[in-house]
Homo-oligomer: A and B are copies of this chain.
Amino acid sequence: MSPAPSPEKVSARAEAQRVRILDAARVCFSERGFHGASISAIAEVAGMSQGLIYRYFTNKAAIIRAITDEQREERREALAGIATCSELVEKLLEKIDAWRETGPGMTCEGGFDAALFLEVSAEATRDPDIAAVVTAQEPQIWVDFEALVQRSAEAAGKPLDAAALRRRTVVMRCLVDGLILCYVRDPAQDREVLRRSLQEAVTALCL
C-alpha cells in the first residue's frame, strides 16, 4: 500500500501546491497590497493551513518574489499573439476593463491585473530583492517588445534600424505603461477618447 511516489509525482504535487498558493497570493496581494495581505488570508484563500505555506515558500518575501517573477511570463504571453502596436493598445484596453469587472488576482490566463502591476513596480522602488527580480525581467521584455514594434513597423512599410527600433520601442512601452496609470487614476474617464488618443499616437509614430 501507498508505494513511495516517484519523484516526478512528488514534484508535480509540490508544483501544484505552489500554484495554489500563488493563485491565492495573487488575489490577496491585489486586494490588499503586499504588506496589507496576511499569510493567514492567503492560506484561507488557498484552502490550506498557514503552516503548509512554509513548506513551499521559506518566507512571505519569497512569495512576493515569486509573484513578481511571474509577471515576466505574463507579459510575454500578453505580447505573444499580437501583430501590431495598434492591436496591442486595443487588447490592453480590453484587459484593463476585464480586470475592473472580474476583480483582483485574475492575472493568469492572459488576464492583466493593474493593481498587481503597480504594486510590484512600487515595491521595486523599495525592496532591492524585488528590484532585482524586476530588472532581470527587462531584457526579455525588451526583446519581445522590439519584435512587436518591428513587426508593426514592417506592416506599415517602414522597417526600422536597431537604434531607431529601440527608441520607438521605448516610446511604445511608455505609452502602454502610462495608459495603465492613466486608467487607474481616473477610472471614470471616457474610454473611447483614451483609445483614439493612443491609436492616433501609434499612427503618428508610423507603427
Contacts and interface: CB of A to CB of B under 8 A. Distances in A.
A105 to B, nearest CB: 12
Q: What number of copies of this chain does the assembly contain? A: 4
B188 A170 contact: no
Interface size class for chain A?
A: 35 or more
Nearest to A142: B186
Contact of A115 (B114, B122, B174): B122
A39 interface: no
A184 to B, nearest CB: 6
Interface in A99-151: 114-115, 118-119, 121-126, 131, 134-135, 138
A168 B182 CA distance: 14
A145 to B, nearest CB: 11
B186 A138 contact: yes
A62 interface: no
A179 interface: yes
Contact of A35 (B35, B178, B181): B35
Given A138-B185, A174-B177, 13 more contacts: A35-B35, A114-B125, A118-B122, A121-B181, A121-B185, A131-B187, A138-B189, A166-B197, A174-B179, A174-B198, A175-B178, A176-B178, A201-B201
